[in-house]
Amino acid sequence: RRSFLTTGATGLGGVAVGAAASALLFDDHASTPAADLVTGLGTTAVATPFPHQAGISVPARQQSHGTVVAFDLVATASAGQLKTLMKAWTAAIADLTAGRVPAGSSEATDTTALGSGPCSLTITVGFGPSLFGKAGVSPDARPPELAPLPAFGTEQLDAARSDGDLGVVIAADDALVVFHALRTLTRAAAGTATPRWIMSGFSRAPGSSPDAASTSRNLMGQLDGTNNPTPAQPGFEGKIYVAADAPTAWLRGGSYLVFRRIRMLLDSWDAQTTAEQERVIGRHKDTGAPLSGGTEHTPVNLSGQNPDGSLAIRGDAHIRLAAAASNGGATILRRGLSYDDGLKPDGQPDAGLLFLAWQADPNHGFIPVQQHLTRSMDALNRFTTHETSALFAMVPAPAADGYLGQALLE
């Protein structure tokens, strides 16, 4: 009798407590102490995939915790201060992602993550449209792709929790490691920039599922990420990363991040039948298979029909309207985080998706897809509200002796 704990995946999800549990979960002949199964999680460091920053398509498996933070420059911030900040962040990120106490703080004063390894920490930094025109950054240097996003129907945006001069995505397999990185960057910014908003979310813990490569679920209970582009697919680099010969020289190797806090109206969602929920998305909830047939990764057949001649994937189904084929090839890499922030004042869950979409150009990515979802009345719109929005040009990885954003700032 074997349990999935002996198949090679870490067995966090199968670990239960007590004697009955070990009888249930462990191989009769090869029982393994639970603690050993997650060894290695803390010591894992993510190498920078030059010329890209880590945290976009690397690591392939999303870390289990993440915080997205926007900073605004203080009104008096000078060009020199901005440059100094980017140098300080570059050095801190190199230390933190290697699991070292950042230079400038000592183990005596900075004990927050003492004893923790890097836990696959990645920190990804970018510039918002509002940076241009401040701290010596010329408004003319702003690429056309970094124009503020257009207004979309059906959104109810909170301006105070949207936008920002600098955007940072911090992710790791441990919430304390993420928090420590946030505090370190915030301290380094003192006098130059202050946090404008901070939002945190989570993804599946490594090992919580016996199949580490399987798709994880969002708070609506759907497999989310099935039809994401993958680095192995032809054209992936060009769709997600700014090309090596792109006109905006300082952003070559970078990527654009569209961030949306999308609240899920979970009480209304839960009141639907499973069949209706499946029609809203166009996929089965349990397996993730498209309603046009097959299994989870069977290509979607948008013209497939039911026996009665109706479309298998309804006209307003989310995957029909969001598909690249329905949007002139527009492609995004979605790496969302679930969030659960308790209750809204009306007692409804304040929960949903911190939606992160990565692309080489938002005009061939998020913008046309979101316009289509809005104008063609995506069936999912009835169960979601976009509450905040931000766009950042995420810069390329710094050269070995350089710093983040150097090609723009020097």
**b vs e for 68-93, b when ≥16 Cβ sit within 10 Å of the residue's Cβ?**
bbbbbbeeebeeebbbebbbbbbbbb
220 binds ligand HEM (CB under 6 A): yes
Residue 174: name the closest of 336, 37, 45 by CA.
45
Six-digit token string for 249: 């020289």
* Residue 356 binds ligand HEM (CB under 6 A): no
Our finding on whether 388 is near ligand HEM (CB under 6 A) is no
Q: Which stretch binds ligand HEM (CB under 6 A): 65-73, 92-100, 130-138, 217-225?
A: 217-225
312 contributes a contact to ligand HEM by CB under 6 A: no
**Neighbour count for residue 158 (Cβ, 10 Å):** 11
Count CB-CB contacts under 10 A for residue 40: 11
- Is residue 281 close enough to count as binding ligand HEM by CB under 6 A? yes
Shortest gap between Cβ of 44 and ligand HEM (angstroms)? 26
Residue 277 binds ligand HEM (CB under 6 A): no
Distance CA 63, CA 364 (A): 27
| Chosen residue from 65, 283, 284, 364 binding ligand HEM by CB under 6 A | 283
| CB 323 within 8 Å of CB 266 | no
* Catalytic center residues: 224
CB of residue 212 vs ligand HEM: minimum separation in angstroms?
A: 18
* Among positions 102, 206, 253, 352, the unique one binding ligand HEM when judged by CB under 6 A: 352
259 lines the binding site for ligand HEM (CB under 6 A): no
CB–CB of 75/133 below 8 Å? no
The one-character DSSP state at 286 is T
Which of 120, 200, 384, 406 is close enough to bind ligand HEM by CB under 6 A? 384
Four-CA torsion 55, 56, 59, 60, nearest 10 degrees:
150
Among 41, 322, 354, 407, binds ligand HEM (CB under 6 A): 322
Q: For residues 186 and 216, which CB has a smaller minimum distance to ligand HEM in the complex?
A: 216
Is 262 a binding residue for ligand HEM by CB under 6 A? The answer is: yes
Other beta carbons less than 10 A from residue 132's beta carbon: 19
Rounded to 5 degrees, φ, ψ at 359 are: -165, 160
Site track 88-127 with ligand HEM (rule: CB under 6 A), x = hit: ----------------------------------------
For position 166 contacting ligand HEM by CB under 6 A, the verdict is no
Residue type, 392: F
Please give the backbone phi and psi of residue 172, each rounded to the nearest 5 degrees, phi first: -160, 170
Helices 175-189 and 79-97 cross at an angle (nearest 10°) of: 160
Q: Which residues bind ligand HEM (CB under 6 A)?
A: 218, 220, 222-227, 262, 264, 281, 283, 300, 318-319, 322-324, 332, 352-353, 355, 366, 369-370, 373, 380, 384
